[in-house]
Amino acid sequence: MFRTKRSGLVRRLWRSRAPVEGDGEADRGTHGSGGCCMGKTTKVAKSNAGSEAELKALTHSILKKIKEKQLEVLLQAVESKGGVRSPCLLLPSKVDAKVGQQSYSLPMLLYKVFRWPDLRHSSELKRLSCCESYGKINPELVCCNPHHMSRLCELETPPPPYSRYPMDYLKPPDSPDSGPSSSDTGGTTYSAPVGLSDSLALQESGDRAHWCVVAYWEEKTRVGRLYSVQEPSLDIFYDLPQGNGFCLGQLCSDNKSQLVQMVRAKIGYGIQLTREPDGVWVYNRSCYPIFIKSATLDNPDSRTLLVHKVFPGFSIKAFDYDKAGSLQRPNDHEFTQQPRTGFTVQISFVKGWGQCYTRQFISSCPCWLEVIFNTR
């Protein structure tokens, strides 16, 4: 019996579905044990044989109604795990599918099958800005590409206030070329003067104004030059099949630490940094958690800022311009001592730091980023 190309694509897609717990292939980075400052996730148990067969039959029947070229787009996105830029998969948004007693919209079903088996509601999702359906309300055709979506990171409740200002932002740098020191409080502003001078030089040379600059660090050493960002979205990665952006793998590093080399190899697809109307979002594209600290993620009156754990496939609003503006008090001595670029966000790959970890300062992390925002 001859097999059609369509049926072959459908079979490959079903084999590439997201594993559920009990398959032995569950994404080790997606779920984890409890701990502070982390996005909350739920584990999903392996479905019984009856519902598995029902889901398979339903998924096959839906996929067989999709155009062959659209199946190829979906397969490309699923097999590359988002590593290849794939176009939108526009399908009717109001078609519902039923699995057992549960009814799902067509997009939700595809997201559950191919990305997040534990997904419960569309409110848990955030559409990425690269998607044609981004910002549109109730369109008749909606993008069902599961790698044009991310899950929202649910934050822990911040601690009670202990002081007027976050201590991380009160220590001015000693000199323009100052680097991290183990005696520092773990502050986030020590390399901001370097970023400021470099980025101002870029503007004076006639380049478009940047909205942020990015520095890559390995422990206490900055690797490579600052990366000035003008485009609204930036991919920061170590190894990506397709895509442009800040490639950390191309930077020359003399660090021989085995831990640094191990973490560097795990950065993979890295993160996507996007400036959107409500702030700056970070999307974790890698297979391992990332860790973020930002003044606008927490109570500005707390003594120290929390370090938030962001699992693979999750997004977090790492910087809020409105909140940052409320933190800047021109009459306060501490804030007038800061560079005009103002605020930074710290992001570490794989290894966390802070009160929940053995590493107290980000300068002890093997691989990390400093994102310096231009708030003018």
Phi, psi at 315, each rounded to 5°: -120, 150
Token readout for 161 is: 């206030």
Confidence of residue 329 (pLDDT cuts 50, 70, 90): low
Residues in Cβ contact with 55 at an 8 Å cutoff, skipping those fewer than 6 apart: 47, 99, 113
> Which tops the pLDDT comparison, 328 or 184?
328
| Number of helical (H) and strand (E) elements in the chain, helices listed first | 8, 17
pLDDT, residue 96, reads 72
> Which tops the pLDDT comparison, 336 or 283?
283
pLDDT, residue 185, reads 32
Beta strands in 110-263 (DSSP E): 125-127, 141-143, 149-152, 212-218, 221-229, 233-237, 245-247
Q: Is the pLDDT of residue 116 over 90?
A: yes
CB 341 within 8 A of CB 196: yes
pLDDT, residue 326, reads 78
The gap between the terminal CA atoms of the chain, to the nearest Å, is 67
- Percent pLDDT > 70 in the chain is 70
Write down the pTM of the prediction.
Answer: 0.80
Token readout for 174 is: 């000693």
Q: Is the pLDDT of residue 284 over 90?
A: yes
Confidence of residue 206 (pLDDT cuts 50, 70, 90): very low
Q: 10 Å Cβ neighbour count for 184?
A: 19
CB 23 within 8 A of CB 15: no
Render pLDDT for 27-69 as a digit per residue (tens, 0 to 9): 444 443 333 344 444 444 555 555 788 888 888 888 988 899 9
Q: Buried b / exposed e across 133-149, counting CB within 10 Å, b at 16+?
A: beeeeeeeebbbbbbbb
Q: Is the pLDDT of residue 303 over 80?
A: no
